[in-house]
Amino acid sequence: MLIPRSHPRAASLYIRERLVHGYKNGLVVEEGLMAHGRGEMFDYLIGEKTTRYSQDAIRAAARKLLLARSPVISVNGNFVALCSKEIVQLSKITGAKIEVNLFYASEKRKKVIAQVLAKNGAKQVLGLEKKFSTRIPKLDSARRIVDRRGIFAADVVLVPLEDGDRTVALKKFGKKVIAFDLNPLSRTAQVADITIVDNVARAMRLLIQTCTKLKQKKLKEHKFDNKKNLKHTIVTMRKNLVRLAHA
Amino acid sequence: MLIPRSHPRAASLYIRERLVHGYKNGLVVEEGLMAHGRGEMFDYLIGEKTTRYSQDAIRAAARKLLLARSPVISVNGNFVALCSKEIVQLSKITGAKIEVNLFYASEKRKKVIAQVLAKNGAKQVLGLEKKFSTRIPKLDSARRIVDRRGIFAADVVLVPLEDGDRTVALKKFGKKVIAFDLNPLSRTAQVADITIVDNVARAMRLLIQTCTKLKQKKLKEHKFDNKKNLKHTIVTMRKNLVRLAHA
């Protein structure tokens, strides 16, 4: 498809093309394309850059992942379409397992996602073998099915672009949840222990850098006030809504 | 795809399915699904209902369409997927012509769109025959191509979910532009003569009702302050962002 170079939103349109590419390769589902659009709008409201509040959340997330006993990175089609390399890198640095978990489940799509991750260097991708599957209690959708070796046994789970129901269920099940969510008002954002309100492509790069740096140091648990952090982000969005209106 | 009924966002997910249906029938393109997602979030910020400011804009738009010498409704895939019946109804009430105009152009998709409109009662759909095509000056994308009998000769053009470049070009070309745009900060919203910041499905129904009512009356041109109207909408969004944050 032809995007004129002179178009002022060309950059954003090119990013969309990456997701369309992922869609055409069977990674992403139609609903995932719309979910991306929703994220785009919130990204616009934070000024399309990592805010200092996201930076704080990323630091807290890096610490939590490095201190975890058994961390897991939960992945879906959009996440892999946008940053497959980064997922594998983060997994290697933190020792986190990678597990595929889809809202719109399909065995075929799971396999495609796992293949892309393997191509990018992932040694193991959980969530595919029936013999290891079990359920998280109190959850209706297909996403309740998890891997016994992965999310089921994890202490810390990193969830990107997550469904609210599932985050609530993971919390009730005793997990510490780190979430990427561009909507600071979503249930996932509100319920997670650490919410990174940022474009996942930008945030993953910074999370990897931060983990690499912190890994050299002796770490202790830090307090992180997620609700307060989210409030700051909402204030930023409100200010930008006014600023943009007067541009 | 299975959406659990207990899911709190089921209603919004069902609307998406309509667009996905339009996608599967060749009306909508992948990028259109993302654009819809973006719109959804802005809809969320106006409270998912027609504000009094949209009502004002709709009244001004009805007046403008009824007083026009040669009005045209420009349609794309998303617009037709969401309200093909309403487009045909509005065209009949106002005497406006219907013209297909796509950002991601394809002859095949144009035909599918025209077929859906014909099935819903449209007598003529412009923008398909090469022998009538011409260009609007100062525009790069495929959308510069318009129908000599339609947009090229129009005095008033109704554009839904429009690309900013094109709105600017239409304005420079001397057209009065009425736009549907859920983002009050977009160039289209800012440049149009009348911007209806509303979900196109809700707004079209109200526009049809208003046109039907006003058609009985003797109309005169009214002043409409689009910038002021947009400012009110932005304030509404800001307030909702705060309200939602404390819910």
Q: Torsion over CA of B131, B136, B139 and B143, rounded to 10 degrees? A: -50
In this prediction, residues A152-160 reach a mean pLDDT of 95
Instruction: Give which of A29, A34, A140 to mutate to test B binding, by max B Cβ within 10 Å.
Output: A34
- Please report which confidence band the pLDDT of residue B1 belongs to, taking 50, 70 and 90 as the band edges: very low
Tens-place pLDDT, residues B151-207: 999 999 999 877 788 898 899 999 999 999 999 988 899 999 999 999 998 899 999
Instruction: Look at residues A210, A177, A189, A200 and name the one whose alpha carbon lies nearest to residue A56.
Output: A210
Tens-place pLDDT, residues B86-102: 999 999 999 999 999 98
Cβ-based contacts of B247 with chain A (< 8 Å): 185
pTM given for the model:
0.83
Q: Does A2 touch chain B (CB under 8 A)?
A: yes
Q: Does B245 touch chain A (CB under 8 A)?
A: yes
Residue among A37, A141, A234 minimizing CB distance to B35: A37
Q: Is the ipTM of this complex over 0.95?
A: no
Whether the predicted pLDDT of B72 surpasses 70: yes
Q: Does A184 touch chain B (CB under 8 A)?
A: yes
Handedness of CA B14, B17, B19, B25 (dihedral sign): negative
Specify whether the CB–CB gap between B43 and B180 falls below 8 A: no
Q: Is A134 helix (H, G, I), strand (E, B) or coil?
A: strand
Q: What is the pLDDT of residue A5?
A: 60
